[in-house]
């Protein structure tokens, strides 16, 4: 269901974004009425919503909300200035089967002995004309599939290495995914129904909707590599808060191994304390 050039995907994987194609524009599960029905039954903690016309940067993620139920936002997306995401839709059996079909078809193209079986998640975005998803980073490998309407994905880089380190340490320590500044060296990827784009983990990006309501499906996965990096970034945040100057993930195998071992020990201690409580 996703058209992919294995050679091009291998070159981009975990490094750069890549334009793709898909054939899900007419998938019944991704029609507005089906999404509205899903929104009505989806767990409240898995729904995020706000007004749609936001600035390109919104550190902290604090945006005005609409006084509407999720299914009302979806059904009225063409009338309201709205932005809504249904998180973890893979937990619904029908949507979970669709996500598995999509990612199973990609696993063979993933290089380096990795695949898409770890930490699969999916997110449905329903947003009004002109809506903006502010600049942010994501921890997973991500493919955004455009189903209805148009949008532009702006993918870039951090201003410099100190900025990258500060933002990723902060994010992996538990702060909001939104970043403080619009990414540099932006490339605009225009998306219409049938278009998709792969975005690697930690790549700064923001999204601008076109002049009509939009529906997009994001399918994501994690790997042993992304899990290691996220653990090290979080450990670095703790070390820096104590006056340390830790190296970024990948700069030193020995330093990475030590921080991973310390993080595992910390998790074991926390579990032991929780069991005693």
Residue ranges and CATH numbers for the domains of the chain are 2-223 (2.60.120.650), 227-276 (no CATH)
- Per-residue pLDDT for 29 more than 80? yes
Residue 52 predicted with pLDDT over 90 = yes
CA–CA separation, 142 and 118 (whole Å): 13
Residue 277 has pLDDT above 80, yes or no: no
**pLDDT band at residue 179, thresholds of 50, 70 and 90?**
very high
Please tell me the predicted confidence (pLDDT) of residue 141. 98
Whether residue 127 contacts residue 213, with contact meaning beta carbons closer than 8 Å, is answered with yes
Tell me the three state secondary structure of residue 183. Answer: coil
Q: Is the pLDDT of residue 246 over 90?
A: yes
Q: What are phi and psi of 244, to 5 degrees?
A: -80, 170
Q: How confident is the model at residue 104 (pLDDT cuts 50, 70, 90)?
A: very high
Q: Name the E strands within the chain.
A: 2-3, 18-22, 47-50, 83-86, 118-127, 132-136, 141-148, 151-157, 184-191, 195-199, 205-209, 214-222
Distance (Å, whole) CA 194 – CA 144: 11
Q: What angle do CA 101, 49, 1 make, to 5 degrees?
A: 15
Q: Where are the alpha helices (DSSP H) in 146-223?
A: 161-172
Closest CA to 181 of 151, 160, 198: 160
């Amino acid at each position: 269901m996703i058209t992919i050039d294995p050679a091009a995907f291998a070159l981009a994987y975990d490094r750069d974004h890549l334009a793709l194609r898909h054939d899900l524009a007419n998938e019944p599960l991704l029609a507005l009425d089906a999404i509205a029905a899903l929104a009505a039954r989806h767990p409240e903690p898995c729904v995020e919503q706000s007004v749609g016309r936001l600035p390109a940067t919104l550190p902290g993620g604090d945006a005005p909300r609409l006084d509407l139920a999720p299914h009302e936002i979806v059904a009225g997306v063409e009338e309201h200035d709205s932005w809504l995401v249904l998180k973890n839709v893979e937990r619904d059996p029908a949507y979970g089967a669709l996500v598995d079909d999509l990612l199973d078809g990609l696993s063979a193209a993933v290089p380096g002995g990795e695949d898409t079986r770890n930490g699969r998640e999916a997110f449905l975005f329903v947003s009004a004309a002109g809506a903006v998803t502010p600049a942010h980073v994501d921890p997973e490998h991500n493919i955004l599939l455009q189903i209805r309407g148009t949008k532009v994905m702006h993918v870039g880089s951090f201003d410099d290495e100190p900025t990258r380190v500060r933002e990723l340490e902060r994010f992996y320590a538990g702060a909001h995914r939104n970043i403080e500044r619009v990414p540099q060296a932006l490339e605009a990827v225009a998306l219409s129904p049938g278009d998709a784009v792969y975005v690697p983990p930690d790549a700064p990006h923001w999204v601008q909707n076109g002049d009509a309501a939009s529906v997009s499906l994001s399918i994501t996965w994690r790997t042993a590599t992304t899990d290691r990096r996220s653990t090290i970034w979080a450990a670095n945040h703790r070390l820096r808060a104590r006056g340390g100057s830790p190296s970024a993930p990948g700069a030193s195998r020995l330093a990475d191994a030590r921080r991973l071992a310390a993080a595992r020990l910390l998790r074991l201690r926390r579990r032991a304390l929780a069991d005693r409580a």
